[in-house]
Structure 1
Amino acid sequence: MRAEHEIVRVQLSERSYDIQIGSAILSSAPEFFAARTKISHAIVITDESVQPLYADSIVAACATAGMRTTLISVPAGETSKSIAMADRLWNESLAGGADRKSVVIAVGGGVIGDLAGFIAATFARGLAFFQVPTTLLAQVDSSVGGKVGINLPAAKNMVGAFWQPQGVLIDVDVLKTLPEREYRAGLAEVVKYGVILDADFFAYLEANVAAIRERDKNVLTRVIARCCQLKADVVQTDERETTGLRAVLNYGHTFCHAFEATCGYGELLHGEAVSIGMLCASRLAESLQRITSDVTERQFNLLTELGLPTATPQVDIEPVMAAMQRDKKVEHGKLQFVLPIRLGNVELVGGVSNDLAKTAIIDGQ
């Protein structure tokens, strides 16, 4: 694969779109947008950390290209994915002269993509929008597939919609400015793809740990493109989670979301919670005799080498279990988990006892 430029096409009939991945391509953002929809007014939504790094230059480039722009910046972090912030953005968009032909451009990490996408899905009954993800986690996961939303105080991503972007522009060079902790957190979702869908890709990650940690742009372009293709394959088959296939993307997330909610949003980065959650799910699969211990061990070793946390947070178990009961995969009060049957293959498993789930958490402390 060449690092300069990769295109992954998400095939969803009239909602199909391109994911463009490469190095030094952020400067072509206005052309990327204009090639996919007519823009007279762009609402650029970003956060206070990303604004001076990338959003300001995109706004300036869009203005030079003849687009009227409204820039809205919110505080960085998970707490901005709230009802109060959505209300603020609806009103600021209105004050900025937004109408049904306005286009939302999300410039930032997963929080911004989810929040801006939710604004796009709901304002004026739906606006076109683009994703320009600036974190690794957003590039390989949240910017692809059309899931947008906000958090309730007691449940993550509980209010939202499926709203596909017009396109996703991924410049690997932006990862140079990403803080080390956030970069590592994004690698958890990368590892996830190997576990759930592609054992060969998992082995590629094991063989390229040093280059990944050094943020080699050639390796990153290959890694990101493969993750995007794997997710696109799933989304194309089960866009709205009606067949159960898309649920495989939630490997580790039942535990992950419960840890995030229990520890308080922002204490654990999402990718850190994913890393811990995947190991909980793998231990649970072991206890159900679905896998052997070497599957969990390979995940543990790779996550550790990539600098990710693996130990379960020291929290009271009952609030964690209560949070898991609010997981969107719960049916008729019964927990369901995405569990591996081997590297590269997982299944949705129901009827798991609370005691086994508790043990999977406690054994990681």
Structure 2
Amino acid sequence: MPEIIKISLKTRTDKSYDIVLGNNILSNLGQAVKKLKCGNSIFIITDKNVARFYLKKTITALKKGGFSDVGKVIIPAGEVQKNFKTYLKILNALYEFDKNQQKKVILLTLGGGVVGDLGGFVASSYRRGVNYIQVPTTLLGLVDCGLGGKTAFNFREAKNLIGAFWQPKMVYMDTAVLNTLPLRELKCGLAEAIKYGVIKDSSLFSFFEKNMRKLLNYDKTALNKMIPVCAGIKAKITSADERDDKDIRIILNYGHTLGHAIEAATNYKKFHHGEAVGIGMVLAAKLAVKLGCLCSCEATRIESLIRKAGLPVSAKGIEPKKILASMKRDKKFVSGVNRFVLPISIGKVKIVENIPEDIIANILTN
């Protein structure tokens, strides 16, 4: 039986939804969607890598659930595709599918973070908002970016600058998709998973220290133990702060201020998202030590674990001034003042504002 994790979002309207989590449950996707009663036509957004393994299976599952009208668009894979041009490509394909019929369409994002973010934003903007369902196919999607309703694409030098909060009707997670996930992408997902240990759960952090080799070997027991814990932490935080305006959800940005800047400074070509976040977490821990927030032994534990996960730990070779320039475009800046999520111990973080640029530059240089 799949595990159900609830995200409760009851503000002016009820936007609550379920995370359905299980192993080898993709064949039951159509029946799960049918129970939602939120549309009768489905339009799938996926990328070339994922389509090769899961598009046919997904369409079969949807038809088995009673959906005869299923359309699709396949985009190239990679962060460099997360832009306005790809957004328009998806919109055009959706329009052709829907043209002159005004279908009650459900968008279904089948893929990792790029597909989920772009597809979610299409759902938020097409006809002023249509229903959508997330079906993550990466570890990063299962533990982080497939949850929470943030949708966006990159614009000019800024990461996720154009976007909206738009909640899915359901997130459907089949952990069996990890069987086809390349090791580099598995490591990227582990970076975001480690983040939860640092910001909220010291026992989860210890679990990673003891089980990293198993996780890197795709051990099903270890993965199936870790994924619901991470998803549960994300669900609890986003339920408390849906729109990131209560200084609760911001802790999820640990490692992301410098991580996003590193991605942008290298034109999204040198590092994958999880790799950049891993570097950002190490740098943020060093910054915390420099400011007297964190003891050096805890920073060493963070860096050692990220190394153990096979992730990069430095931005060596990238000019600090490029990273600092990209950082200033970060959405978390308020009136030109930087905001960092810094660890004060394993399992606890705090928000620190207005850190002098020369201190940040020193951390980047050394």
Q: Same fold (TM over 0.5)?
A: yes
Contact 1:21–1:221 under 8 Å retained in 2: no
Q: What is the CA distance between 1:114 and its match in structure 2?
A: 0.3
Which residue of structure 2 lines up, in the alignment, with residue 117 of structure 1? 120
Kindly report which structure 2 residues correspond to 1:344-355, keeping only aligned pairs within 5 A, or say none. 344-355=347-358
Check if 1:272 corresponds to 2:275: yes
Paired with 1:66 and 1:20, the residues of 2 have a C-alpha distance of 19
Asked if 1 retains the 8 angstrom alpha-carbon contact of 2:4 and 2:20, the reply is yes
- Provide the residue aligned with 1:184 in structure 2: 187
SS of 1:268's equivalent in the other structure is coil
Q: Note the residue ranges of structure 1 that are not aligned, 5 or more in a row.
A: none
Residue matched to 1:290:
293
> Is the 8 Å Cα contact of residues 211 and 219 (structure 1) preserved in structure 2?
yes
Contact 2:82 2:118 in 1 (8 A): yes
SS at match of 1:35: helix
Q: TM-score normalised to the size of structure 1? A: 0.96
Alignment check: 8 A CA contact 2:41 2:103 kept: no
**Is the Cα–Cα contact under 8 Å of residues 23 and 217 in structure 1 kept in the other structure?**
no
**Deviation, structure 1 residue 32:** 1.6
TM-align CA RMSD? 1.2
Partner residue of 1:139? 142
Equivalent position SS for 1:337? strand
Percent pairwise identity: 38
Work out whether residues 120 and 129 of structure 1, in 8 Å CA contact, stay in contact via their aligned partners in 2: yes
Contact 1:59 1:71 in 2 (8 A): no
1:235 Cα deviation from its structure 2 partner:
0.5
- Supply the distance in 2 between the matched residues of 1:283 and 1:100 (Cα, whole angstroms): 53
**Post-superposition offset of 1:60:** 2.5
Q: Matched residues in 2 for 1:111 and 1:332: separation?
A: 29
Separation in structure 1 between the aligned mates of residue 169 and residue 65 of structure 2, nearest angstrom = 18
Map of 2:162 onto structure 1: 159
Quote how far apart the aligned CAs of 1:313 are: 3.4
User: How far apart in 1 are the matches of 2:36 and 2:21?
Assistant: 16
Aligned AA (1:232): A
Q: Aligned letter for 1:281?
A: A
Q: Would you say the 8 A contact 2:28–2:65 is kept in 1? A: no
The residue that corresponds to 1:257 in the other structure is: 260
Counterpart in the other structure of 2:95: 94
Q: Say whether the 8 Å CA contact 2:175–2:224 is kept in structure 1.
A: yes
Kindly provide the CA deviation profile for residues 15-35 of structure 1, in whole angstroms up to 9, marking residues without a partner as x. 111111121111111112112
Task: Letter of the 2:334 partner, please give it.
Answer: E
- Aligned match of 1:341: 344
Aligned 8 A contact 1:338 1:346 in 2:
yes
How far apart in 2 are the matches of 1:233 and 1:65?
31
Q: Does 1:48 align with 2:48?
A: yes
Q: What secondary structure is seen at the aligned counterpart in 2 of 1:242?
A: coil
Aligned-partner SS, 1:44: strand
How far apart are 1:100 and its partner, in Å?
6.2
Runs ≥4 residues deviating over 6 A = none
AA aligned opposite 2:58: I
- CA shift digits 1:81-113 (9 cap, x unpaired): 111111121121111116462100000000000
Partner residue, 2:110: 107
